[in-house]
Amino acid sequence: MDSPSPKKAKKAKSSVATTKLAGKVRGSTSSVAVHWLNEPGRAVPLLASISSADVLKGSDFSLYAQESSLKKGGRVTSTPHFVRGASDTVEHMSDQTDVENNYGQASQLVVGVYNRSTNTVTLCPTTVHVIDRSPISPPVADSAASTSSAGLDYHATRAALGQAFGNSKAKRAIADYEKRMIDPRAVSMTIDAMQENIGAATGLLSEPQNTSQPVIPVNSSATTVDEVYPLQTIVSTAELSSLDVDNILSSPLSKRSALLPARSHWASYMITRIGASPSVQDLQILVYIACLIGLFRQVARNTERRRIEEHNPAIPSVILDGFYERFTESTRSGQQPVMTSAHQVKLISHILVLCLRLEHWTMELHRIREDLGVDDMRIKTHFEAIGCKIKRKSSTSEGHSAAEHAEKVAVLECPPTFPTSRMRKRRK
């Protein structure tokens, strides 16, 4: 198409300026230069029609285009694009279908931009974006919280009505329901403390535990056999001090076994072995072992402390307190403590370690086996569990072989030797 002559172009420019800008130049009679902007990639003004009567404050509008309509450098081309704006509660977006239909039509809208400094008008082709309004749905967490609070209010209202107008049966049902119901608000307040307690209790479970280790703590840095099981880890000083042995020391050696708090084959044998003038601590340990053996027999039948105190008036209350604390556990009902099989193993281990200490870490098995009422295999297992080695002590007499008089003894050495778990082979 041939370009118009300069004279016609000048006339056209002045007519456009007169019709479009007659009320904006404020009496200026000078001619205005008009430019037509039709360069792809240049930012142009846009027209938008909002159907809503009001636009909320804080609604920011932006122009978006498809990835296929972007040139290198991110500038918007003349291909379709859309406008979007949103606040906290309302979203405004133009219909992209209407915008695409506007492109390619014979008639287009033009926006004129007047520059006072240069006295020029720039005409820019544009399109109209029809913007629709849609509310933003609230977060799911808020709706869930409101639902739970509404449920709690419903149950509270129902309980109040039942307490006010219900019969005795309905009131009991409401009371039973409230006992079973868990308050989520109370749980949320204590969840952090529960996690800390669980973490502290299970902090040592990260590594696999060795089930062959004894129930009594072992001194891993011990250099002598006396340091393997320190006395203070077995019995406290207060418990030993509560045992008065002056009456036993003032009695003849032949009558001392009758003064022990419980009958014991091992204790009767040991009280004569330690001699007429033993140390006070050794005699206190011997009396303490007799107390544990007597309590072991009685608690196996009945764990009620009142009856235990009636049958054992010579045992101090400090000894009973330590016994129930170490070797029993409380039930949920809280009526009376219970001695489990694990506590029985723990009690037997304490007795054997104290017996070994008095016999200088080597002792025969048959006497203590009779006191505890266990067979040969079980007493051997208990000694091995605390790190002892089972050996044979042979003694010959006239007319009998050494094998007939071979007696098993338990020996504790430093370091102790604990049994290892054996894996059974699968049968082919």
Q: Can you give the three-state secondary structure of the chain, one letter per residue?
A: CCCCCHHHHHHHHHHHHHHHHCCCCCCCCCCCEEEECCCCCCCCCCEEEECCCCCCCCCEEEEEECHHHECCCCCECCCCEEEEEECCCEEEEECHHHHHHHCCCCCCEEEEEEECCCCEEEEEEECEEEEEEEECCCCHHHHHHHHHHHHHHHHHHHHHHHHHHCCHHHHHHHHHHHHHCCCHHHHHHHHHHHHHHHHHHCHHHCCCCCCCCCCCCCCCCCCCHHHCCCHHHCCCHHHHHCCCCHHHHCCCHHHCHHHCCCCCHHHHHHHHHCCCCCCHHHHHHHHHHHHHHHHHHHHCCCCCHHHHHHHCCCCCHHHHHHHHHHHCECCCCCCCCECCHHHHHHHHHHHHHHHHHHCCCEEECHHHHHHHCCCHHHHHHHHHHCCEEEEEECCCECCECCCCCCEEEEEECCCCCCCCCCCCCCCC
Q: Are 32 and 21 in contact (CB under 8 A)?
A: yes
Pairing of strands 407-412, 362-364: antiparallel
CB count within 10 Å of CB 85 equals 20
Residue among 356, 300, 298, 295 nearest 323 (CA): 295
Token duo for residue 100:
């695409």
Identify the segments of the chain with pLDDT beneath 70.
1-30, 39-44, 51-58, 66-80, 88, 95-108, 136-152, 189, 200-214, 332-335, 394-406, 421-428
CB count within 10 Å of CB 112 equals 16
Give the pLDDT confidence score for residue 289 in this predicted structure: 93
Sorted by sequence, the CB contacts under 8 Å of residue 421 that are 6+ apart come out as 211, 212
pTM: 0.50
Looking up tokens 């778990």 gives 421
Give the pLDDT confidence score for residue 16 in this predicted structure: 37
Looking up tokens 């008089």 gives 405
Give the pLDDT confidence score for residue 424 in this predicted structure: 58
Order of strands across the sheet with 109-115? 33-36, 120-126, 109-115
Looking up tokens 């019709």 gives 19
